[in-house]
Structure 1
């Protein structure tokens, strides 16, 4: 499945985050992910990640790579960014998951044709504990109950929820079994009632 951007380019709706990974571990991870079917890789922090990706012909196939030079955006006035986003923005990458849903921001972006990309879509990473104080939503009793209902893992349920919000999700994992688990989220669909139920676990952090 893909998300079409305003400029006509197509972005796979599920990707793989490789933040804070380096060297051979990234290369092996991405090779395995490509075999599974991933075609979208989020390289947050260019450096070692980009140099690792450039080896062994990993990028000689049709992939989507997101590159974010560290600290670049923080050096630009917020107002300039905001007007630029409204005028020409294609995608907005934010932290969003069931405990931090940011519904108004998601709807605002979608209203203006800006594709929402969810980093940390399962919650609980270093980024959101340090910055937002949030925790992983994978132990939430409501989400666990729904996962049992659909006979899926909680992670699969949460990723499916993100996709049904019309957002791109880029979970991070270094384990092969998790890569496979996270990618297999297209064989089921959450009901409107269950989407509403998940709205109720938002902690509005």
Structure 2
């Protein structure tokens, strides 16, 4: 067994606007609104301080309930939500943001993202300008995007002069998207991984299973630890209390160079499990 290390708390990752975000958070995509408050409460109890939701998930109210009842000061929590695809036009974006804040029951949100660029409707620049205004008004601490390709990023930066703090994208060992890492590093945009476990498809991977046996950890814990050591922000999701806690219990071991190299070898250009941002056109 390798030497055990002690890292009891997640790192705070600096953002390009001077704020910071916890490196590991709890995602609530596809969490039933009826149980969201309980699931998020379990997450906060386990140690998560970053909670990631979205207008399109329809469970912001549950997140808000958990914020109020968790017994943790609001200042210790980092709350993220996202603008729905059908609300990129300025007036619609402002209304949608007000609805988000009402459902969450907070005065200021820590991070607000454009959920998808939806290039076919060509309104994401207008949405980005609206987020800039909301940040300047003090209603959002940090602004960013989700599922933006490099051309989308180049356009909003070029037309506004404002660089997103975060780009939340599908990223996991089988779809690492390393070709865009240099661009994000150059512009100081933090990459945040959604579907970090490959929508569960990686949990039976033999390479990851072997690494898990070596460290006495689960495959999910190995994958989450990989995200952390690669400097990525990661938001695993579960609705089971024991798995929520286990996914956070990744600070007492470290992957070695051979482990990291083996995981790098799992990358595939065909590893995407979700929609392609270049063509995704759904509205919600």
Bin of the TM-score, shorter chain as denominator length: 0.7 to 0.9
Q: Show the counterpart of 2:140.
A: none
Q: Which among 216, 222, 238 is matched to residue 157 of structure 1?
A: 222
> The residue matched to 2:182 in structure 1 has which SS?
helix
Equivalent residue for 1:192? 257
Q: How far apart, in 1, do the equivalents of 2:216 and 2:82 lie? A: 36
Give the whole-Å Cα distance in 1 for the aligned partners of 2:220 and 2:57: 29
* Superposed CA RMSD: 2.1
1:65 paired to 2:79: yes
What TM-score results when the alignment is normalised by the length of structure 2? 0.64
TM (norm. structure 1) is 0.86
- The alpha-carbon deviation at position 172 of structure 1 amounts to 0.9
Bigger radius of gyration, 1 or 2? Answer: 2
Alpha-carbon distance change, 31 to 155 in structure 1, aligned in 2, over 3 angstroms:
same
The answer as to whether partners of 1:46 and 1:67 remain within 8 angstroms in 2 is no
Give the 4+ runs in structure 1 shifted more than 3 A: 77-81
- Report the CA distance between 1:203 and its aligned residue: 1.8
1:172 matches 2:237: yes
The one-character-per-residue Cα deviations of 1:117-175 (angstroms, maximum 9, x if unpaired) are 000000036xxxxxxxxxx1111111110111111100000111111110000011000
Q: What CA deviation, in whole Å up to 9, does each residue of 1:13-65 have, x standing for no partner? A: 11111112243300011111111111111103357322222336148522111
- Closer, same or farther: CA 24–84 of 1 in aligned 2, 3 Å: same
Q: CA deviation at 1:80?
A: 5.7
Does residue 82 of structure 1 match 2:144? no
Q: Does 1:52 align with 2:62?
A: yes
Match of 1:92 in 2: 167
Aligned twin of 1:30: 40
Work out whether 1:107 is the aligned partner of 2:121.
no
Picking from 97, 117, 122, the partner of 2:192 is 117
* Partner-residue secondary structure (3-state), 2:179: helix
